[in-house]
Structure 1
Amino acid sequence: MSKTLNIALAQRNFVVGHIEGNGSLICQDIERAREAGADLILFSELSITGYPPEDLLLRPDLITRVDAVLDQVAQHSQDLTVVVGHPYLDEHGELFNSASAFKDGQRIVLTHKQKLPNYRVFDEERYFARGDTTAVIPVADHRVALLICEDIWHPEPIASAREQGADLLLSLNASPFDMTKLDERLNVLEACSAELGAPVVYLNQVGGQDELVFDGHSMVVDAHGRICHELPQFEEAFRLVRFVDGVPVAGERVAPSLEDAQIYNALVMSVRDYIGKNGFPGAVLGLSGGIDSALTLAIAADAIGAEKVQAVMMPYRYTSSMSLEDAEAQAKALGVEYDVTPIEPMFDGFMTALTPMFANAAKDTTEENLQARIRGVLLMALSNKTGRILLTTGNKSELAVGYCTLYGDMCGGFAVIKDLPKQLVYRLACYRNRLSSVIPERVITRPPSAELAPDQVDQDSLPPYDVLDDILERYVERDQGVAEIVAAGHQEADVRRVIRLTDINEYKRRQGAVGPRVTPRAFGKDRRYPITSGFGKANW
């Protein structure tokens, strides 16, 4: 007679710190799994607290609240096994990133994460002690190993599961998205199933959390590393997976979209969750007629609905008629609230006050930055009055070299495209227009300009963006030095200039808004350089 095993996968968008709310969602899914005939239901890493809880883990009352929710989960575990992630404080005062399995009201196993990631966006060694064993539990005539996220990227926990006779591996994950991650994950799952000689169930959380975006895309692979089930990216899902004689029965597969669509969907989810989870009633942004604000507006409208978005055009004497026309056209195409507020009277008032102190000083970028700062004040006032969050519109290329104004266009609470190099901004604008034409074609084809001075274009101040973006990728994401970047075909003068600008503008970036990470290495939590440093000066 065949052995069957039914596992429910709960790919959920948990809210960090919302312990009781997360617990309620977990208990609801347990009931759903029971009704569906599941033998076991699996939740993601630290599902009770959400991931990453960061310094909330240092609060003494957190564990008390977590333990109360775990008691509720245990009570719901009649007639099926429930595997849930949570922090655990032992009797010696050591905190672990843990998973518990409950059955019929009792905890049948408590296991701790063995491999703690402490690189890039991860700093788990700040909080957690390491586990030292792989747990294997009996479920419906199977021996099921439980591992937590990073554990499956290392051979020792897998070898321990094999030695204990595990014929199935469950992996609880909180693995954030970046544009290279999917292939890496699949390679790991293939290696893991081959080493164990058994299927692997990979359950990942979904949702936006400050700088991080979790894409879900939970999977089941068979003993040969072949995908049998795929859950969707960037949305919650509940799926019942059936095993017969230890082999997963092939089921629904939701293959990931192409790269540009994945990145766009990641940004939309990030904006939706940042605004929704933080309770903002909507968003406001400055719409300039340029490509960066155009893409930001499209993402915002797609994320929270056009009726909750306000776009403001703030022209000055250098604003072209093309910019005015294109901004209005996009606002109408998307159906957002749209206002035009000229800034010349305000600029003149500032200059009247400042002229005596400027004496005979020549005009320079001060006057350009003043325009940006006036716009920032107006937008922050609207944000303040309406409660809507101000979305900033700077891209990664600009933020890298400081081509942005502190307390001007950097004002705001969430930087939607801060991790997009300029060329990727253009790609995503074209992708969005393939869905429906909302960004005027001239916005995409015209030379980019800040329009802060007569006949100004970005390339007056910066290398061409194809050059700039490649240098920045090599320096920021790959940590290459001058010699390596020059050897890749770039002019040494360009390389030294870009590196110098990147280094001296760390102080600006440190004061900017957070935004979603989609590249392999983003500014912020991912790349933490000192502001005061002489390290790079030899390269200038």
Structure 2
Amino acid sequence: MLIALCQINNTVGDLDGNARLIADFARRAADQGAALAVFPELALTGYPPRDLVEKPSFVDRSEAALASLAASLADLPLGVITGYVSHSPAGSARRAANSAALLAGGRILFTQSKMLLPTYDVFDESRNFEPAPQQTLCTFQGLPLAITICEDAWNDKQFWTRPRYEKDPVEELISQGAALVISINGSPYHMGKRDLRRQMFSAMARRHGVPHLYINMTGGNDQLVFDGSSFAALPDGSIAAEAPSFAEDLILFDTTTGAGDRRPSHQDETSAVYDALVLGTRDYMRKCGFRKALIGLSGGVDSTLVACVAADAIGPENVSGIAMPGPYSSDHSLEDAYALARNLNIRCETAPITQACESITAGLAPLFAGAPPDTTEENIQSRLRGLTLMALSNKWNALVLTTGNKSEIAVGYCT
């Protein structure tokens, strides 16, 4: 069976737009001869939907969108597996489930909800979703499929020394006779995660003796960035198909021959982190409706890096830098800020804050009487920069990008 791994960039809550995206990729898969097209976790609703799933109307719309999607693909000679939000069974503690569906011939042939719901790090799924009580094997065109959803495949007791859950959904489905494991994912990026996924799925494929497909979404949703990096692991542990990181793509894998498309991203971790920042910035702005970015340029490393990311994310023509020299600024700050703007081909303007800083300091002088000057006066400068940037943001309809590094953010000290 020829299977298309469809690595898409969807938008949380945009059911109509996501459905069109799925349909477009499904038609591309059909044009390339695929018998099955597989999409990521919650591809139809976007991930993570968070408290949208607490609204019954949203869950209703998700199920209606799934039925409409199935009908719209009725003319295609292939099946489609996609993630969506479904109503949980009557009497459940939570109103919704994180589910996958198999569509073919205009109908919904099979559904399976997620069993293992993560509640660590950035995840809080058990707050919103009802877990599946069991896993059921799905057969499509004579091939027994184990359809799992992200965390369901992350509890291999042979791979992890301290598994988080009692159940292993993959093991359960293998015992039922699965000949292929399909894992649909909404797995955020962090350093080293791409290699970790491959090690784990390769180990499972070797142990179970069947191919394992890993399909992940790409793109940024709020503070999360998803790298994609979808792949197929063969029973010998080798990688037979792989998609690039931080980009949409469609790759093919043949279950009969074990052959697949290879379009890997050959990048070191530093390059991967930079690409993640660019994608996250681009998608946050695009999905929130912003076209222009505004950055305070100090001439230092932090604002330089943010300006580079912004220029690569949305184009230099959409980035404006503001140099805000004050009484505590160094002589070369303004020169460096303008040199950076020239190198990146971005707009740069100067908004001096010395007069405003002196005016505020003078106004506070009676209250500061008897106290020697210290960082208090310097902090007035940084706060004035924040005020200036937000005023320009409102006037220019541009999103301010903070230049604080993690150390500064951790202690609440950044412009």
Q: Matches of residues 50-69 of structure 1 in structure 2 within 5 Å?
A: 50-69=46-65
Instruction: State the alpha-carbon separation in 2 of the partners of residues 150 and 216 from structure 1.
Output: 16
Number of the residue aligned with 1:225 = 237
Number of the residue aligned with 2:209 = 197
Instruction: State the alpha-carbon separation in 2 of the partners of residues 136 and 170 from structure 1.
Output: 11
What do the CA deviations read for 1:441-492 (whole angstroms, capped 9, x no partner)?
A: xxxxxxxxxxxxxxxxxxxxxxxxxxxxxxxxxxxxxxxxxxxxxxxxxxxx
Q: Matched residue pairs, number?
A: 399
Number of the residue aligned with 1:496 = none
Instruction: State the alpha-carbon separation in 2 of the partners of residues 102 and 314 from structure 1.
Output: 57
Number of the residue aligned with 1:175 = 187
Matched AA of 2:187: S
* Structure 1 residue 256, shift from structure 2 partner: 4.0
Number of the residue aligned with 1:461 = none
Number of the residue aligned with 2:377 = 367
Instruction: State the alpha-carbon separation in 2 of the partners of residues 223 and 105 from structure 1.
Output: 33
Structure 2 residue corresponding to 1:305, chosen from 303, 315, 320 = 315
User: TM-score, normalization: structure 2?
Assistant: 0.93
Structure 2 residue corresponding to 1:330, chosen from 340, 347, 366 = 340
Deviates more, 1:139-148 or 1:367-376: 139-148
Name the SS for the 2:103 alignment partner: strand
Q: Matches of residues 3-402 of structure 1 in structure 2 within 5 Å?
A: 5-75=1-71, 76-78=73-75, 79-92=77-90, 94=92, 95-155=96-156, 156-244=168-256, 247-402=257-412
* Structure 1 residue 334, shift from structure 2 partner: 0.3
CA contact 1:6–1:243 (8 Å) conserved in 2: yes
Inter-CA distance 338–255: structure 2 relative to 1 (3 Å threshold): closer
CA contact 1:301–1:309 (8 Å) conserved in 2: yes
Instruction: State the alpha-carbon separation in 2 of the partners of residues 77 and 227 from structure 1.
Output: 33
Instruction: State the alpha-carbon separation in 2 of the partners of residues 302 and 133 from structure 1.
Output: 46
Instruction: State the alpha-carbon separation in 1 of the partners of residues 332 and 265 from structure 2.
Output: 41
Instruction: State the alpha-carbon separation in 1 of the partners of residues 89 and 127 from structure 2.
Output: 19
What do the CA deviations read for 1:348-402 (whole angstroms, capped 9, x no partner)?
A: 2212322223233221221111111111111111100011000111111222244
Name the SS for the 1:248 alignment partner: coil
* Structure 1 residue 326, shift from structure 2 partner: 1.4
What do the CA deviations read for 1:41-83 (whole angstroms, capped 9, x no partner)?
A: 1010011110000011101110121122111221114432111
CA contact 2:242–2:251 (8 Å) conserved in 1: no
Instruction: State the alpha-carbon separation in 1 of the partners of residues 117 and 266 from structure 2.
Output: 28
Matched AA of 2:207: E
Instruction: State the alpha-carbon separation in 2 of the partners of residues 376 and 149 from structure 1.
Output: 40
Matched AA of 2:201: L
List alignment gaps of at least 5 residues for structure 2: 157-167
CA contact 2:112–2:135 (8 Å) conserved in 1: yes
Name the SS for the 2:169 alignment partner: helix
Matched AA of 2:104: K
Matched AA of 2:173: A
CA contact 2:88–2:130 (8 Å) conserved in 1: no
Identity value in percent: 41
Please tell me the root mean square deviation across aligned C-alpha atoms, in Å.
1.5
Matched AA of 2:97: F
User: TM-score, normalization: structure 1?
Assistant: 0.72
* Structure 1 residue 172, shift from structure 2 partner: 0.4
Instruction: State the alpha-carbon separation in 1 of the partners of residues 258 and 134 from structure 2.
Output: 26
Instruction: State the alpha-carbon separation in 2 of the partners of residues 90 and 130 from structure 1.
Output: 9
Number of the residue aligned with 1:468 = none
* Structure 1 residue 323, shift from structure 2 partner: 1.9
Matched AA of 2:137: V
CA contact 1:45–1:84 (8 Å) conserved in 2: yes
Name the SS for the 1:23 alignment partner: helix
Matched AA of 2:395: K
Matched AA of 1:133: Q
Instruction: State the alpha-carbon separation in 2 of the partners of residues 385 and 180 from structure 1.
Output: 41
Matched AA of 1:51: Y
Name the SS for the 2:244 alignment partner: coil
Instruction: State the alpha-carbon separation in 2 of the partners of residues 302 and 158 from structure 1.
Output: 40
Name the SS for the 2:110 alignment partner: strand
CA contact 1:18–1:49 (8 Å) conserved in 2: yes
Q: Matches of residues 448-459 of structure 1 in structure 2 within 5 Å?
A: none
Runs of 4+ residues over 6 Å off in structure 1: none
Instruction: State the alpha-carbon separation in 2 of the partners of residues 162 and 351 from structure 1.
Output: 71
Name the SS for the 1:224 alignment partner: coil
Name the SS for the 1:301 alignment partner: helix
CA contact 2:246–2:279 (8 Å) conserved in 1: yes
CA contact 1:158–1:196 (8 Å) conserved in 2: no
CA contact 1:159–1:195 (8 Å) conserved in 2: no
* Structure 1 residue 290, shift from structure 2 partner: 0.8
Instruction: State the alpha-carbon separation in 1 of the partners of residues 182 and 400 from structure 2.
Output: 41
Instruction: State the alpha-carbon separation in 2 of the partners of residues 181 and 91 from structure 1.
Output: 34
CA contact 1:7–1:40 (8 Å) conserved in 2: yes
Instruction: State the alpha-carbon separation in 2 of the partners of residues 90 and 341 from structure 1.
Output: 56
